[in-house]
Amino acid sequence: MNVAGNVYLTGVISRLIDAGVNSADMDILLKNGALMLGVTAFTLAFGILASRMAGVVSSGLGNHLRLAMMEQLCLFTASDVDHFTRASFINRMTADVGNVQNMVNIIFSTLLTAVLNIIFILAASVNMDSRLSSILLIAVPLFSVTSVIIVRFAIPYFKKKAQNDDALSRIVLEDLVNMRLIKAFVREEYEDGIYRKAAGEARNNALKAEQITNNSNPLQQLIVNFCVVMLLWFGGHRILAGELQIGELFAFITYINQILYQISLISMFTIPMVSCMVSVRRVCEVIEKEPALSDAREDTGESIADGSIDFDGVYFDYSADTARENMLLQNLNLHIKSGESIGIVGATGSGKSSMIYLLPRLFDIPVGTIRIGGADISRVPLKKLRESIAFATQKSILFSGTIAENLRQGKPDATEEEMIEACRKACIYDFISGSADGFAMRLSEGGSNVSGGQRQRLCLARAFIKESPVLVMDDCTSALDKATEKAVIDHITGSFSGRTKILISSKISSIRRMDRIVVLDKGQIVGIGSHEELFASSEIYRDLCISQGEARNAG
Ligand SMILES: Nc1ncnc2c1ncn2[C@@H]1O[C@H](COP(=O)(O)OP(=O)(O)OP(=O)(O)O)[C@@H](O)[C@H]1O
Ligand SMILES: [Mg+2]
């Protein structure tokens, strides 16, 4: 509406010149003046409305894209995120979505109006004088073709620049996480050098992209100026021949100036537009990526009856195209009764953590079947499956927030008594009750304001509090002193009756009192039995015991 108003105004001015000023008719002057005031107010109101709507549309779209990407992130496995890299994922969710949001705002508030203006001006000029307007009709396609060519040349550099930005974020992310290590190894200069090199590449690609897009400005200016000269030349001749009014030539010059203004508006946004095209592609790549794990969303009728676990002929490798005989985990067959306590032991790198990651389907298996509570885990909805397993992972991960908030990730409605009990069992309650804030003590990012051993015990407490039939603890006593570790193991063996307990450790002292122990060697189960049985029957287990100074009889 405001576009139509603007173009209409030019027509009114033209009529004023030809009819009002030439004949000095006051009545026409007043009438057209009032009309111009009305049209100006009308275009202003619609201009404000258009920019408000642009804000609503762009912020709504930005929010929608962020939520869609977050939804994908929740479905992604670690390998899906690795496909993009963490830094690139963050950039796509923040900078790229921001680019798209800004551009959509610009499109609706400015560019759409500019394009509509050009169309309306062309229509009005054809209506006024079709012969003279052919000059304008040639200019617009010429301008469009040059823009398309320039954009095609610039896009590869904007793509490279986006990759450079990912590399820069990755370096910053790594440096922030490993700040202490960098200082301890005096690597500041080296890291600074890596960043400078990446930043230099980003600058070069940005420079090339901008140089190409900036070429469009003088080129488009040249086309428009050429049109003005042609208009004056042919228009002047037609006025002399009495075929055209001065007001009409004035309107044409105004039209070409308006087109020039709209074109310069469009070319001002060429760089953000091309950069936005690259961002749209990067955002779509995330949204369209099929997660490596497919969730059994519809109810397949499978339900987890208890904490029994069965591995039947399971093979697994992190790489999808490894031949079966070279896979990391090979032919795992293991049957765990509900409520049983199981220790998994083996040399470092033997595949203990990998085996246990398969239970909550952090990775899918190419061969074999895993059942929990009698249900094939590939047929149980992921939410249900993961609710049935409490996991204290090898890497102790806490979130920023209070201790209570972290514990309630295990059980959202946990009472203070339940939290105290879980923390007592994890031997961390003395630390919590001794701190001024108790359960309200704030943990900083990653729990970096507590010690490694305290982190491990908080993670254990979070797993203990979760009411699930299966409790998995992966090497989560490694940072504890011997006395504390013994106290924690005593609680693990003496509590949680009815829950299936799986404790992984490379230390025999941690797992020797479990009902049964599974010995893993190079991805294969080489022994299953109690400590005494294995000491007698398994050479690998016996060697492990001897190397760790563990006696045959359980103590
Ligand atoms: N995300 C991964 N991608 C590719 N390979 C991996 C990945 N995680 C582990 N591996 C490889 O799988 C093998 C087994 O690793 P895993 O973590 O299961 O061993 P582990 O028995 O738990 O060792 P540790 O006692 O040191 O914790 C190792 O050789 C490791 O290099
Ligand atoms: Mg491990």
318 lines ligand 1 (CB under 6 A): yes
Domain identity same for 314 and 284: no
What does the pLDDT read at residue 408?
Answer: 92
Residue with tokens 């992966």: 474
Instruction: Specify whether the CB–CB gap between 397 and 428 falls below 8 A.
Output: no
Nearest CA to ligand 1 atom 9: 354
What does the pLDDT read at residue 9?
Answer: 64
Residue 312 pairs in a beta bridge with 369
What does the pLDDT read at residue 132?
Answer: 79
Distance of CA 444 to the CA centre of its chain: 22
- What atom in ligand 1 is closest to the CA of residue 475? 27
Q: Please list the alpha-helical segments (H only) found in 178-269.
A: 179-184, 188-214, 216-240, 246-268
Cα-to-centroid distance, 350 and ligand 1 (Å): 7
Any domain includes 299: no
- For the stretch 280-298, pLDDT in tens is 999 999 999 988 777 655 5
What does the pLDDT read at residue 7?
Answer: 62
> In which element (H, E) is residue 51 found?
helix 26-75
Nearest CA to ligand 1 atom 1: 318
Domain identity same for 323 and 210: no
Contacts of 15 (CB under 8 A, 6+ apart): 28, 32, 247
* pLDDT over 70 (residue 311): yes
Instruction: Measure the CA dihedral 537/541/544/546, to 10°.
Output: -20
Q: How confident is the model at residue 18 (pLDDT cuts 50, 70, 90)?
A: low
Instruction: Measure the CA dihedral 274/276/279/284, to 10°.
Output: -110
The whole domain housing 267 covers: 2-288
Please report which ligand is nearest the Cα atom of 350: 1
Domain identity same for 370 and 448: yes
Counting ligand 1 atoms within 8 A of each CB, the residue from 319, 353, 502 with the most, and so the one to mutate, is 353
* pLDDT over 70 (residue 25): no
Domain identity same for 116 and 233: yes
Mean pLDDT of the chain: 85
- For the stretch 351-380, pLDDT in tens is 999 999 999 998 889 999 999 999 999 888
- For the stretch 426-449, pLDDT in tens is 999 999 999 889 999 998 877 778
Please report which ligand is nearest the Cα atom of 79: 1
Any domain includes 220: yes
| Mean pLDDT, residues 151-159 | 85
Nearest CA to ligand 1 atom 6: 318
Report DSSP letters for 457-509, one per residue: HHHHHHHHHS--SEEEEESTTTTS-HHHHHHHHHHHHHS-TTSEEEEEES-HH
Counting ligand 1 atoms within 8 A of each CB, the residue from 86, 328, 391, 476 with the most, and so the one to mutate, is 328
Query: What single-letter amino acid sits at 302?
Result: E
Higher-scoring residue by pLDDT: 248, 473: 473
From 288, 322, 348, the end of a domain falls on 288
Question: Would strands 367-372 and 341-346 be described as parallel, antiparallel, or unpaired?
Answer: unpaired
Rg (CA), the chain: 36
- What atom in ligand 1 is closest to the CA of residue 354? 18
Residue 411 pairs in a beta bridge with none
352 lines ligand 1 (CB under 6 A): yes
Instruction: Specify whether the CB–CB gap between 508 and 544 falls below 8 A.
Output: yes
Counting ligand 1 atoms within 8 A of each CB, the residue from 329, 352, 356 with the most, and so the one to mutate, is 352
Q: How many domains does the chain have?
A: 2
Any domain includes 106: yes
Cα-to-centroid distance, 318 and ligand 1 (Å): 9
CA neighbor of 474 nearest in space, from 384, 361, 355, 375:
355
Instruction: Specify whether the CB–CB gap between 338 and 306 falls below 8 A.
Output: yes
- For the stretch 516-546, pLDDT in tens is 999 999 999 999 999 999 999 999 999 988 8
| Mean pLDDT, residues 231-237 | 84
Per the structure block, which two tokens stand in for 313? 């002929």
Counting ligand 1 atoms within 8 A of each CB, the residue from 80, 315, 318, 344 with the most, and so the one to mutate, is 318
| Mean pLDDT, residues 101-128 | 85
What does the pLDDT read at residue 526?
Answer: 94
Any domain includes 302: no
Any domain includes 80: yes
**Ion ligand 2: residues, CB < 5 A:** 353, 394
Can you give the CATH number for the domain in which 525 is found?
3.40.50.300
Provide the percentage of residues in the chain whose pLDDT is more than 70: 92
Any domain includes 304: no
350 lines ligand 1 (CB under 6 A): yes
* pLDDT over 70 (residue 493): yes
Domain identity same for 260 and 323: no
Higher-scoring residue by pLDDT: 395, 219: 395
Nearest CA to ligand 1 atom 4: 318
- For the stretch 471-488, pLDDT in tens is 999 998 888 888 899 899
